[in-house]
Structure 1
Amino acid sequence: MDNSSRRESPDFVQTSLAGAMALGLEPGSFYRNACPGSLNLLMTYQDGCRANCSYCGLARERQAEPEENTFIRVKWPVYSLAAIIDILRQPPPAAAGKVKKLGRICLSMVTHPRAAADCIGMVTELSARTDLPLSVLASPTILPAATAFFEAIKAGGADRVGIAVDAATPELFAAMRGAAVGGPHRWAKYWESIEQAVDVFGCEQVSVHLIVGLGETEQAMVQAIARANQYGAQAHLFSFCPEPGSKLGSCEPPSYGQYRRIQLAAYLLNKQQISLADFAFDPQGKIVSYGRRLEELLGDQLAAGAPFMTSGCPDRTGCVACNRPYGNERPGPVLRNYPFWPEAADLTTVKGQIWDE
């Protein structure tokens, strides 16, 4: 049976519901017109992801009802890669109202033995047949020769790599993603792969994904962000949100205060405006100071709300393309990652949350 009848990668791929809407493949509208700037594609196999991360909708042992068969709490419909490429290749008049503001493609691997080889071919095809810059969210566990893989996808046309470490400490990583949950991932392998990716793609071309709210202290998360920066990578933040049927499905997201403080830390560290030594923490590991008043450190950036916007890979103009609308929560008046510039009312709310518990 070939891939076309099995609807598997490399011939088929899942896309986020937001991506499918942006392509005109699914109906719907975006709250506050927050159209996605990046087309998120997810590799897919009938026997699924071999990992078992405790917070993930793709986890091997997830117990969910059919209607809850989601990833990041939304459905990811399957389409042929060729059909998606055909839409992306339509000239502007034909695509008007169909392809909305897409400035990048991000191809995400799953932990599957075929994914590395398939990914290289898919990157090559996407790069050759579309004019959008291309990122790959890599799964280090299935890359026995990570440097060779990174060189291959770079040669195929990818210009950036992301690696989802997610958990801020080796202990949490092992408990959430490793042997404690029957998962194959190992902390050391992930950080080794980040270093290799930076060697191939260069500084600032590699991102490290981190999830706030998996049980870490704020101090531990700041240390993880600083470590990513030391490797030459940027840290991109996600807020934990429970996935129904996952091992953490009944857990609560982090407080707004915790998330705001980490957003500010990541923004300042990524832009090298402060260092780890500038932080002060209380005995529980909560941030109590960034070394100077935030207004002094950030000025107009704080006034505009830049630190509270989604951090992600850019389009060709340098603006964030991967704005992931409502990837951390349902659309609503108070957002964790703003996929657009916050308005005055948003900023009043957000700034009032910074020092909350």
Structure 2
Amino acid sequence: MNKLALESLTEQKESPEYLQISWAAAMTLGLIPGQFYRNTKLSCINTLLTYPSGCHATCAYCGLQKARDMEYSKKNFIRVEWPTVKLDDIIERTKEVGHAERLCISQITHPRSIRDTKYVLKRVIEELGDQLFVSILMNATGQTYEDIEDYKKLGADTLTVALDAATPEIFDKLRGRPMNSPHRWDTYWEVLEWCGEVMGDGYAGCHLIVGLG
């Protein structure tokens, strides 16, 4: 086995040097074969931070939760495979895609997630900031007001909070104490309010899953 092949096998594929990307984004960037219905064009490159130890939360509905009995690298975010790709390759291939309008950086619950998001954001803005809109989908747990300010200073166009559950009761049941998870409803709403203050009207938001609970 040559040195290059050996390095490929032993290399740790984790953020910030690597990100997972949606299957549709991988098709758009020419990383996997495929064809969109009626030649539809995907305008957003969705990415997700990734680590060997996985997400440290246990949200009941998420494909990445720790309770799922399988190797983390084989788990899927939303029941569809998300390939792991070098950040450098994502950047270079996105430059070549003429119809890409947005790149989203999504976080998981991990001690390095906030720091690595800033690194990825800085790289993406430096390389692609003039070409497309950059958004962050954040895990609110562990964020500080200064982190929110940093995202804006580094060039994020919008900040969104992965609230998912629409009521305190559903949030707690599926994402909180009963699941032995670190997430708290009040924390998520506080961070969402910070995003509104820092980013301004129209540039902050949240994700909600219709029908959850």
Q: TM-score, normalised by structure 1?
A: 0.54
Is 1:42 the counterpart of 2:42? The answer is no
- Gapped regions of structure 2 (runs ≥ 5): 1-9
How far does residue 182 in structure 1 lie from its aligned partner after superposition? 1.1
How far does residue 64 in structure 1 lie from its aligned partner after superposition? 5.6
1:51 to 57, 66, 73: 57
Q: Deviations over 1:77-129 (max 9, x none)?
A: 1111011111223xxxxx3xxx2621000000110000101111110110001
Question: Letter of the aligned partner of 1:160 in structure 2?
Answer: T
Q: Deviations over 1:38-61 (max 9, x none)?
A: 000100000000011111111111
Q: Deviations over 1:298-346 (max 9, x none)?
A: xxxxxxxxxxxxxxxxxxxxxxxxxxxxxxxxxxxxxxxxxxxxxxxxx
| Contact 2:58 2:65 (8 Å CA) reproduced | yes
| Contact 2:44 2:103 (8 Å CA) reproduced | yes
2:67 to 42, 61, 69: 61
Q: TM-score, normalised by structure 2?
A: 0.89
Is 1:31 the counterpart of 2:37? The answer is yes
- Matched residue of 1:107: which SS? strand
User: Which residue of the partner structure matches residue 192 of structure 2?
Assistant: 194
User: Which residue of the partner structure matches residue 112 of structure 1?
Assistant: 110
| Contact 1:104 1:132 (8 Å CA) reproduced | yes
Residues 6 and 66 from structure 1, CA distance in 2 versus in 1: closer, same or farther, beyond 3 angstroms?
Answer: closer
1:129 to 123, 127, 130: 127
Q: Give the Cα separation in 2 of the matches to 1:156 and 1:126.
A: 10
User: Which residue of the partner structure matches residue 18 of structure 1?
Assistant: 24
User: Which residue of the partner structure matches residue 208 of structure 2?
Assistant: 210
Q: Give the Cα separation in 2 of the matches to 1:10 and 1:67.
A: 16
User: Which residue of the partner structure matches residue 72 of structure 1?
Assistant: 78
Q: After TM superposition, what 4+ stretches of structure 1 lie above 4 angstroms from structure 2?
A: 64-68
Question: Letter of the aligned partner of 2:46 in structure 1?
Answer: N
- Gapped regions of structure 1 (runs ≥ 5): 90-94, 216-357
| Contact 2:54 2:72 (8 Å CA) reproduced | no
Residues 80 and 191 from structure 1, CA distance in 2 versus in 1: closer, same or farther, beyond 3 angstroms?
Answer: same
Q: Give the Cα separation in 2 of the matches to 1:178 and 1:32.
A: 42
User: Which residue of the partner structure matches residue 312 of structure 1?
Assistant: none
User: Which residue of the partner structure matches residue 4 of structure 2?
Assistant: none
User: Which residue of the partner structure matches residue 168 of structure 2?
Assistant: 170
How far does residue 150 in structure 1 lie from its aligned partner after superposition? 1.2
Question: Letter of the aligned partner of 1:133 in structure 2?
Answer: F
| Contact 1:141 1:189 (8 Å CA) reproduced | yes
Q: Give the Cα separation in 2 of the matches to 1:65 and 1:8.
A: 14
Residues 78 and 67 from structure 1, CA distance in 2 versus in 1: closer, same or farther, beyond 3 angstroms?
Answer: closer
Aligned residues: 202
Residues 65 and 107 from structure 1, CA distance in 2 versus in 1: closer, same or farther, beyond 3 angstroms?
Answer: closer
2:11 to 5, 21, 27: 5
Higher RCO, 1 vs 2 (CA within 8 Å, ≥6 residues apart)? 2
Q: Deviations over 1:3-32 (max 9, x none)?
A: x92111111101000000000111001123
Q: Deviations over 1:107-154 (max 9, x none)?
A: 0011000010111111011000112110000111021x1x21111111
